[in-house]
Amino acid sequence: MENQTQVLDRGPFFHGTKAKLALGDLLQPKYESNYEEKRISNYIYFTATLDAAKWGAELAVGDGQERIYIVEPLGDFENDPNLTDKRFPGNPTRSYRSKQALKVIAELKTWERHPEAIIQQMRNHLAAMQAAGTAEIID
């Protein structure tokens, strides 16, 4: 894992989800993925851009309310190789992952969703990738 001093920025950091969390709660790795039912994720993922956090909330599995939390990494983290190496060289999405907890320090109560047609287009794209076997997650 990279040391925090080698990461591109220091935040603030966001986590988009449908889980209802309280201030002070810890988001931990080794729990079910936000995006793939019955998959246990070895990392907890987060971002320093509101746009990526919105996608996280909008694409999360389940029927709960979409939420964006402001989080504080409690240990080392690294660039998310699922995005930086595969899709967006240089990490313009400012996406990260950690094997250590994130602490919920606030909830972003007001934010504008992507248009529903764009969200559905992204869901269709992700479903096509899964069907083609190209949706591999490096975890």
> Which residue ranges form the domains of the chain, and what is each CATH number?
4-132 (3.20.170.40)
Task: Give the tens place of pLDDT for each residue, 88-128.
Answer: 566 777 889 999 999 999 999 999 999 999 999 988 988 88
Task: Give the tens place of pLDDT for each residue, 10-27.
Answer: 889 999 999 999 999 999
Task: Give the tens place of pLDDT for each residue, 26-65.
Answer: 999 876 666 566 667 789 999 999 999 999 999 988 888 9
The packing angle between helices 50-59 and 116-132, to 10°, is 70
Residue 89 DSSP label = T
What is the distance between the alpha carbons of residues 17 and 58, in angstroms, rounded to a whole number?
Answer: 8
- Bridge partners (DSSP) of residue 102 are 27, 73
Give me 74's structure tokens. Answer: 């409690």
Does the pLDDT at position 2 exceed 50?
no
3-state secondary structure of 35: coil
